Amino acid sequence: MTVVSQDEKRFVIFNLSGENFGIGVDRVREVVNTPGIALVPSEDGLLEGIINLRGNVVPVMNAARLLGMDDKDPEDFASVVVVETGNEVVGFLVEKVVAVAPLEAEPVPSGGTANNVNAEAIEGIARMDEDQLVLLMNVDCLLKK
Amino acid sequence: MDNLNISKEDLKLFLEELDEQIEVMEEGFLTLEREGADPEVVSATFRAAHTVKGSSAAIGHQRMTALTHAMENVMDKIRQGELGTSSEVMNPLLKGLDLLRPFKQTLATNSDTDVDISQALQELRDVAERKPQDSASGPKSSGPMDVSESFMQRIHYAQEEGLVALEINVTLAPESIMPSVRAYQVYQAVASIGEILASDPTLNEIEDENVGTELKFWIITASGREAIRSAVAEVTDVTGVSVSPVKVPKDKEEADRAKPGGAAPSDEDTKSGAAAAIENRTVRVDVTVLDSLMNLIGELVIDRTRLGQLSAELSELAGVEDLASEVGRISNHLARITGFLQEEILKARMLPIEKLFKKFPRMVRDLSMKFNKPINFEVNGKDTELDRAVIEMLSDPLMHLLRNAIDHGLESPDERRAAGKTEEGNLTLSAYHSYNQIVVEVSDDGRGIDPQRVIESAVRKGVITPDRAKEITDREAIMLIFSPGFSTAEKVSEVSGRGVGLDVVRKNIDALGGRVDVESDLGRGTTFRIFLPLTLATVRALMVRAGGQTFAIPLNSVVETLRVDKRLIKSMRRQQVVTVRDMVVPIYRLESSIGLTRRRRSWNDTTAGENDHIYAVIVNGDGKTFGLVVDSLVGEQEIVIKSLGRLIGDVRGLAGATILGDGSLALILDIRGLTGAGWSKDTVAEVAG
Amino acid sequence: MAKILVVDDSDFMRVRCRQLLVGEGYDVVEAGNGQEAIDRYKESSPDLVMMDITMPVMDGITAVREIKKVDPKAKIIMCSALGQQATVLEAVKAGASDFVVKPFQADRVVAAIQKVLC
């Protein structure tokens, strides 16, 4: 578990089941709102479907399931955060994108994080607007599975 | 320094043009020196010198003007045939060119120069005043020729008149419907350009309809090669034109040297340098470049489809008739152009099937000895071109079919004699075009397939039920040999025919988007035909809506589409079925058949209303016929297959995805994959209702 | 807009041909046999003639020869059935520019017309 940097860095902050998550803007290619997802069958339910990103077929993962959170029907989830990892481009289906803001990353407290989130995929935490907690995602770690 | 009259912007343009013209001249001079006075090259270089002279005079560059003027004079003499193109003539021209470069440099850097052009000018003037007989004319090199003396004499005279002798090779498409008419049109086109010295086939042979796919002409002409090439290429069905100079020995001595065994220059010598640059019309292209071009055109096809839809929508609106018809016209035109473009790129991916066919004669020979069956093996159409990927994937299926024909199709010599046939069995492998398809055929004159025995065997192996066996037609029976269960491990020589791995053949061909068919005449022989699409990158598909999204079902899997009254859906052992022409066909909801059970209503459109009927697409995969229940039928469309990507990998029942005209995605079904491993009633528990 | 004279004794073929050509933006004049074709040609001097071969009253080949007498620069495309190679060859010798084979494939017809017209 490493802390990326003590310096301020910009994050895309989004909402999943009442929890705030952040991905560094350097990893985010773009955010697509209300995309037309073509559902693709997936045995473990991690894969949601595919979207057309300017002529390229991009897979969309169910971020909540990937993070090991409560399985909630993603019916109302309306945004896809498209990230680059290695040579792949992948989308994460999220509830909604809240903000793009600079955050100061801190190490994850030893007690872990709330809500049964898969701890391995979180590489740090940050505070937003004094009282809100943002879990910073390690994209590569998340997709290794 | 010359006082120049030019703005900064204009100077940039001037220098760019100068650069181009210097290149044209350099390449041209070298070609002329090597190959003689090709009129096309002569006029191109003359024009280049002329252009530079004009523009340097316009900016007031006196030394450049003087130099290019002298060069132009020499070129003009060559053009008039008064000068040859030997090194003595070309040297001063090249030297002049070498002086243009420093001028360009100083102009670009706005510096002064003390380039002295007086010596070069003098040499150019000297050359221009030489008598024609002083200068060597005609090409320097010559290769062996297969034409007669008098023929060469005429070429020689023609060259002295400043004409060129050319050899034209024309290829006609093998599928050309009336080749002799095409050949005659080519003959006319060539005759309009120059004097035909000889042709193969001759005019008489053309008129007697004795024409193959290769035509050859020897002509004398004043026209350039490019002009000839394009005139001939105009004729429909001409797939290739090459024009090359006929090399003629200049004098007795050189003629002797040019004879085979003499010290003739090698082909490499005559084709090096600038000459090769002009003459060699082929380039090497990485296959990935072709693939990416193909993808880009795929995008264009999508836009074209969208535009077509738009134009149809427009024509429904009142008051915009003119606009609608204009859009319609543009859309038609675009469709045609993209069609041509697609064809051209496809052609670039094509290889003659010869590469594959080459290896079979040896295999047939070995099998012939092994089975002790003498075989007359004939191979036709090895020039037929196929997508390189198809060629690779055809190898195994063809091997299977040939092996089968020898093992089971052809009889032993004794048997053949008894049947009144030649002892030697005939086996033919052919490839040809037919409409938009390529057909590869394996044909034997053996014993044929006995439908009755196929049925018996199929019943025994549980491929079909005894009931079904009673109603099956001969043709359907013969097609059973492709069924997976028909012949796997067990060898089926007792069935007068085939079997070993024929299901595999069908599987491979299906994967290529093709189709395999068999025609058999009992006692006379069997012909297997493989029909292949010209390309793998696009496929025609039936577009349907199911579960709120669009799916594409490749047409080669679709048997028919039905609108079924719900009351006619029956239940057999908890499986819903419909009856199609006396055949009981199980039906499944399309989306559940691929394991898509989740619904996301907010994104779904609910086209499946409270109707009293359902739509079913009857498909066939690996011999299994079943119905896929869909919400609605959208129509037929050409689609571009895109892979789902490495991250997703293979998904059972899906062949990929395609982007639709409105930018949304449709999943492409793989019907064969659907019926493969993992196919069970459980995965399709949610059936039509 | 180029004008095309369609010569065919079959009403159906003429209608099909007209639909195709009008759709491509050409003006169409029709004639039902070779004799009519010559009359129409003189009246309306079309840019191109699409000529059937087998027709009553006057066949296509004769009509090609006659039209060429009227206008040596006439551009004529023969509409042939499969297996009429010798006849088509004769027509080309008589001055026809090209041929298309029935049943028509729209692309090919259009390509042939564009080639001949330019």
Average confidence (pLDDT) over B606-629: 77
Window 217-256 of B: residues touching C by CB (8 A cutoff) are 234, 236
Q: What share of chain C is helix, strand, coil (3-state, %, to 5)?
A: 50, 20, 30
Rounded CA gap, A60 and A94, in Å? 10
What percent of chain B is predicted at pLDDT more than 70?
81
Cβ of A59 within 8 Å of Cβ of B594? The answer is no
B305 Cβ contact list (under 8 Å, min separation 6): B637, B638, B661
pLDDT of residue B603: 36
Rounded CA gap, A77 and A60, in Å? 12
Quickly list H helices, B6-82.
8-35, 39-58, 62-79
Nearest to B651 among A41, A57, A90 (CB): A41
Could you please report the per-residue DSSP string of B256-321? HHHSTTS-PPPHHHHT-HHHHHHH-------HHHHHHHHHHHHHHHHHHHHHHHHHHHHHHSTT-H
Peptide bond into A107 cis (omega under 30): no
Residue B642 is given by DSSP the state: B
pLDDT of residue B138: 38
Supply the mean pLDDT for chain A.
80
Which residue pairs from B309-312 have beta carbons closer than 8 angstroms and sit at least 24 positions apart in sequence? B309/B661
Rounded CA gap, B48 and B68, in Å? 9
Considering B103-117, B123-137, B250-264, B613-627, the range whose residues carry the highest mean pLDDT is B613-627
> In 10 A of CB B57, how many CB atoms?
15
Average confidence (pLDDT) over C12-34: 87
Which is the catalytic residue, given B26, B72, B167, B591?
Answer: B72
pLDDT tens per residue across span B328-367: 888 888 878 887 787 777 777 778 888 788 878 878 888 8
pLDDT of B236 strictly over 90: no
B50 given a catalytic annotation:
yes
Q: Which residues pair with B196 in a beta bridge?
A: B219
pLDDT of residue B441: 95
CATH topology of domain A8-143: OB fold (Dihydrolipoamide Acetyltransferase, E2P) (2.40.50)
Place of tokens 């998904």: B651
pLDDT tens per residue across span B470-488: 888 888 888 888 887 675 4
Cβ of A50 within 8 Å of Cβ of B299? The answer is no
B404 given a catalytic annotation:
yes
Count of A-B CB contacts under 8 Å = 68
The C-alpha R_g of chain C, in whole angstroms, comes to 12
Q: Which residues pair with B632 in a beta bridge?
A: B545
Average confidence (pLDDT) over B590-616: 64
Average confidence (pLDDT) over B411-416: 93
Residue ranges covered by each domain of chain C: 3-117
Cβ of A58 within 8 Å of Cβ of B657? The answer is no
pLDDT of residue B421: 92
The dihedral formed by the CA atoms of B142, B146, B151 and B155, expressed in degrees to the nearest 10: -20
Question: Per mean pLDDT, which range of A55-59, B379-383, B598-602, B684-688 is the poorest?
Answer: B684-688
pLDDT band, residue B112 (cuts 50/70/90): low
pLDDT of residue B680: 45
Is the minimum CB–CB distance between B184 and chain C shorter than 8 Å?
yes
pLDDT of residue A60: 92
At B266, the amino acid letter reads S
SS3 category, A59: strand
Best residue of A32, A37, A40, A145 to probe chain B, by most B CBs closer than 10 Å:
A40
Instruction: Give the closest-approach CA distance of B81 to chain A in angstroms.
Output: 58
Rounded CA gap, B598 and B526, in Å? 49
User: Could you tell me which of B510, B556, B542 has the C-alpha nearest to residue B666?
Assistant: B542
Rounded CA gap, A97 and A79, in Å? 7
Is the minimum CB–CB distance between A74 and chain B shorter than 8 Å?
yes
Which residue pairs from B258-266 have beta carbons closer than 8 angstroms and sit at least 24 positions apart in sequence? B258/B142, B258/B143, B258/B144, B258/B145, B259/B144, B260/B144, B264/B141, B264/B142, B264/B143, B264/B144, B265/B141, B265/B142, B265/B143
Nearest to B181 among C25, C82, C88 (CB): C88
* Chains in contact with chain A (at least 3 beta-carbon pairs closer than 8 A): B
Q: Which residues pair with B544 in a beta bridge?
A: B551, B633
B72 given a catalytic annotation:
yes
pLDDT band, residue B152 (cuts 50/70/90): low
Average confidence (pLDDT) over B298-309: 75
Average confidence (pLDDT) over A49-77: 79
Tokens of B237: 């069905």
pLDDT of residue B113: 66
Cβ neighbours of C81 in B, within 8 Å: none
CATH topology of domain C3-117: Rossmann fold (3.40.50)
Tokens of B619: 């498909």
pLDDT band, residue B490 (cuts 50/70/90): very low
pLDDT of A141 strictly over 70: yes
